[in-house]
Amino acid sequence: MTEPYIPLAERLFEQLRAQSHDGVGITRDTYGAGEQAAHATLAECARLLGLEVTRDAALNLYMTLPGQRRDLPAVVTGSHLDSVPRGGNYDGAAGVVAGMAVLAGWVRAGLTPQRDVVVMGIRAEESAWFPVSYVGSKAAFGLLKAQDLQALRPDTQRSLAEHIRECGGQPEQVAAGAARLQAKDLDCFVELHIEQGPVLIGAGVASGVVTGICGSHRYRAAQVLGRYAHSGATPRGHRADAVVALAALIDRLQDVWAELESAGHELTLTFGQVYTDPKQADFSKVPGQVSFTVDIRSRDTATLRLMDERLHETADTIAAAQGVSFEWGESSGSQPAIMDSALRQALHDAAAATGTSVRDMPSGAGHDSATFANQGVPSAMLFVRNANGSHNPDEAMDMADFTAATRTLARVLAARAGLPQAG
């Protein structure tokens, strides 16, 4: 039988929650104490199960059940273990815990797969801590750029390289492009993850098979520069109000977004941070500067480019009319990815075999599966229904839904690894 061992998953979720609760939510900071503790917990669990435990230069964690034919490409599952500040307990961790539950079930049943099966605890997926997408999975394939390692963590003002080294990694090897993973050595990558929006809850469906993962185009340090002035002594026609200019940009781009959607484009647009300078802005001043962020997402690179063009065109028009200027700073982003059709069908078939309701759906959020897919590894994602979204303390995944999704995952991994199916 290839049934997952769910009691282990329940214990792991409780351990992770207990060690990373910050008083409000869950904080497992990237290359910090929170992520380190989570990796140590999973590594110890793997050792107790008799799995091989290794790490790469970026400290990605590999927990391997050896197969009979170790020369065959490995089956890989897993996800990330870091969280956003004051997030939830399941975002990322559910995928690693599910993989461990699957292997624990096989170990308890005395099963040996035909090929290696690896549960991967991936580092640094959440770009809330460093302004770089998919740090861990990129590093695993030797794709992280040397300049990425100089990115600063906002709360510590120390570089990614410093944090990796402090945690025991080897940033020099990462910068040199040392790769632990190559597509030719991987049979597939299947990532279980909570859904981070309301679609499955709203539809009354337990699981989602992801069709594709959105890419992104971002400005993390944009500004509008106007002119500070007295709020009472400066008439409207003499103002260069940075807040008014940004408000106009946000308002007009909502219309642009709606226009592009009507034309068939699929995208999202978010201004996640908007703030004036607390040391210079004042109740009685016309604001002369406002900082903001822009996050554009789509599964189509042409749509990303088009929305970026419209962003700049609209900003230029507003700047000319209101006497302000827009400064964008460096842009960052990630590439969209399409999930493997055969693996998607296998997930549908496995869900049907376990009696789990399922539907196809895109992923608006980014995930490490995108890195694997864009390296030519057959990849798939299975979403678990989750109330209240994610990136907040109120994530509410039901263990019955997790169990159903993990059983679906187990059937697909067993088939790829050459094990008999559960009854």
pTM of the model: 0.87
Q: What is the largest CA-CA distance in the chain?
A: 81
- Asked if 125 and 367 touch (Cβ cutoff 8 Å), the reply is yes
Average pLDDT over residues 369-387: 97
What is the reported pLDDT for 420? 75
Residue 198 has pLDDT above 80, yes or no: yes
Residues 6+ apart with CB under 8 A from 344: 209, 210, 211, 360, 380
User: Could you give the residue range(s) of every CATH 3.30.70.360 domain in the chain?
Assistant: 216-334
Q: How far apart are alpha carbons 229 and 239 in whole angstroms?
A: 8
Q: What is the 3-state secondary structure (H, E, C) of the chain?
A: CCCCCHHHHHHHHHHHHHHHECCCCECCCCCCHHHHHHHHHHHHHHHHCCCEEEECCCCCEEEEECCCCCCCCEEEEEEECCCCCCECCCCCHHHHHHHHHHHHHHHHCCCCCCCCEEEEEECCCCCCCCCCCCHHHHHHCCCCCHHHHHCEECCCCEEHHHHHHHCCCCHHHHHCCCCCCCHHHEEEEEEEEECCCCHHHHHCCCEEEEEEECEEEEEEEEEEECECEECCCCCHHHCECHHHHHHHHHHHHHHHHHHHHHCCCCCEEECCCEEECCCCCCCCEECCEEEEEEEEEECCHHHHHHHHHHHHHHHHHHHHHHCCEEECCCEEEECCEECCHHHHHHHHHHHHHHCCCEEEEEECCCCCHHHHHHCCCCEEEEEECCECCCCCCCCECCHHHHHHHHHHHHHHHHHHHCCCCCC
| Span 137-180, pLDDT tens digits | 999 999 999 999 999 999 999 999 999 999 999 999 999 999 99
Pair of tokens at residue 378: 């057959």
| Span 210-243, pLDDT tens digits | 999 999 999 999 999 999 999 999 999 999 999 9
- Within 13 Å and on the Cβ side, how many CA atoms surround 67? 21
| Span 304-325, pLDDT tens digits | 999 999 999 999 999 999 999 9
| Span 25-52, pLDDT tens digits | 999 999 999 999 999 999 999 999 999 9
What is the reported pLDDT for 1? 57
- Asked if 97 and 10 touch (Cβ cutoff 8 Å), the reply is no
Pair of tokens at residue 206: 């337990």
Task: Spell 165-199 as b/e; 16+ CB within 10 A means b.
Answer: eebebbbebbbeebebbeeeebbbbbbbbbbbbeb
Q: Compute the chain's Rg from CA coordinates.
A: 23
User: Could you give the residue range(s) of every CATH 3.40.630.10 domain in the chain?
Assistant: 6-214+336-417
Tell me yes or no: is domain 6-214+336-417 CATH 3.40.630.10.
yes
User: Counting every residue, how long is the chain?
Assistant: 423
| Topology of domain 216-334, CATH | Alpha-Beta Plaits (3.30.70)
Residue 423 has pLDDT above 60, yes or no: no
- Cα–Cα distance list, 266 to 201, 305, 306, 341, 359 (Å): 21, 13, 12, 20, 19
Residue 103 has pLDDT above 90, yes or no: yes
Residue 384 has pLDDT above 80, yes or no: yes
- Residue type at 290? V
Average pLDDT over residues 415-421: 89
Give the chain's mean pLDDT.
96
Residue 422 has pLDDT above 60, yes or no: no
- Torsion sign, CA atoms 234, 239, 245, 251: positive
Average pLDDT over residues 68-78: 97
Q: How far apart are alpha carbons 19 and 89 in whole angstroms?
A: 11
| Span 252-293, pLDDT tens digits | 999 999 999 999 999 999 999 999 999 999 999 999 999 999
Question: Percent of the chain beyond pLDDT 90?
Answer: 95
